[in-house]
Structure 1
Amino acid sequence: MIIGNGMLANALRKYDRDDVVFFASGVSNSQETNRSEFERELSLLYSTSDQYKDKKLIYFSTCSMYDNSKSDSLYVQHKINIEHIISEVYKDFLIFRIGNAVGKGGNPNTLINFLKSAIETNKKITLHKNAGRILVSVDDIAEFVSNALMQFKNQHIDFAYPYQYKPLEIVSGMENYLGRKANYEIIDEGALYEMEFDRIIKDYFRDISPSEYLDKIFKSHL
């Protein structure tokens, strides 16, 4: 069973199964400040647990909780709270903390969608020189999750391409792909994530370089 209808939910369709609940209807905008959105997700989670307690729950959280600059955001605090609730309510679950998910369509506020729109409209953007951004295709999320379903139980798994892209690196690649120049300024701010990826994640992506993965994302989802 799949809860949700966004780009991640759509990528999971071909892996749907009766004994698993894929909860792909969470708050997707990391800049969200409307508490009603967080309450909506929480309410949906509780109603899902009431109906499907006998099934394995797959929940999608965020790697942003490793970003010190976002530790106080409502979005990150919400995800931490949701993770705690799941561990208390469900007997069988997996929580995937994912990077910046990339897929066709979806929320216009996600990183890649925002940058694409800014380049196409010549909107000026600010890039943090010292920041790192972790990307992952929704297709890879869906494939990896489907393979990991029965290998793990009651765990948190960090999943993203194991490389921290500089914002300028992403913008430069997008400029080349779109054939348009971006309007941006660079400021001396930002920081890299403090996290390490497990060997199983590195092995999954072992045959593709950072530049190749960026190209793959653009070709598949822009």
Structure 2
Amino acid sequence: MARAFAQRYAKDDSTVIFASGVSNSNEKDPAAFAREHDMLGGYLADGQRRLVYFGSCNVVNAKEHSVYFQHKREMEALVIGSGRGTVLRLPQVVGRTLNPNTLTNFLRDCILQERQLTLWAGAQRNLIDIDDVAAIATHILDGAPPPVVAIASPWSLPMPRIVDLFEQVLGRSARRVLVDRGEAMAIDSTLSEQVARDIGVDFGPDYPLRVIQKYYGACHEA
């Protein structure tokens, strides 16, 4: 995330791109959350620079009570309450990373390693290219950004459909088990869609497939 924003903000002393938060939504270690809280508080306390915090589109899901999302809500509130920060709420960002805990890396690994995938049939996820996140966010931040903005594509897809796309790109079949659980993903992506049109980001109907193809199309090994 930090690399994607470096070209614009690495030498901008007036803005802090806070990309040091807890990244694993399954995290439960209190020390990890405390570390982010203390670091974020330190930057907010200096009173000199604008801070950009990466939140999650899922914080608006009232049924999401995990420790991770409770923590994200608290961190967003700190940034918003400071009056000097902007929260960029993101869905499932796709890029080049070795982190096995990202949704898309996990799906790839399960399919290529023929591991069973238990899918919540009703759950939706929204995939967006890290390059598009940076382009859209930079355009918004260089203007007069609202305190909170969701940057997402128009396409929140059911998990089985996302796995279908991975199967298409990888040329392999997933060992899937469907469970009747999960909810739709409600994201107000109006602003990010408007900016995407203005700067030439193509959010056409094949966008999720193109994102997966870009980062996983040449991947044929676990």
* Conserved 8 A contact 2:150-2:189: yes
Question: Residue in 1 aligned with 2:173?
Answer: 181
1:42 matched to 2:34? The reply is no
Letter in 2 for 1:145: A
Separation of aligned partners in 2, 1:104 and 1:189: 30
Q: Percent identity of the aligned residues?
A: 30
C-alpha distance 104-197 of structure 1, shift in aligned 2 (>3 A): same
* Conserved 8 A contact 1:58-1:95: yes
**What SS is found at the alignment partner of 1:54?**
coil
Separation of aligned partners in 2, 1:220 and 1:14: 21
1:144 matched to 2:136? The reply is yes
1:88 matched to 2:89? The reply is no
Question: Residue in 1 aligned with 2:192?
Answer: 201
C-alpha distance 189-105 of structure 1, shift in aligned 2 (>3 A): same
CA deviations over 1:113-144 (Å, ceiling 9, x no partner) = 11011111111011111111112111111111
**What SS is found at the alignment partner of 2:149?**
strand
Letter in 2 for 1:33: K
Separation of aligned partners in 1, 2:134 and 2:73: 22
What is the correspondence of 1:85-124 to structure 2 with a 5 Å cutoff? 85-89=78-82, 91-124=83-116
Q: Which runs of 4+ in 1 moved over 6 A?
A: none
1:27 is aligned, of 18, 22, 27, to 22
Number of aligned positions between the proteins: 210
Question: Residue in 2 aligned with 1:3?
Answer: none
Question: Residue in 2 aligned with 1:5?
Answer: none
* Conserved 8 A contact 1:96-1:158: yes
1:132 matched to 2:127? The reply is no
What is the aligned-residue RMSD (CA, Å)?
A: 1.7
* Conserved 8 A contact 1:120-1:180: yes
1:166 matched to 2:161? The reply is no
Deviation at 1:218, TM superposition (A): 1.7
Name the TM-score, length of structure 1 as normaliser: 0.87
Name the TM-score, length of structure 2 as normaliser: 0.87
Deviation at 1:37, TM superposition (A): 0.9
What is the correspondence of 1:45-84 to structure 2 with a 5 Å cutoff? 45-51=40-46, 53-70=47-64, 72-84=65-77
Deviation at 1:100, TM superposition (A): 0.9
**What SS is found at the alignment partner of 1:165?**
strand
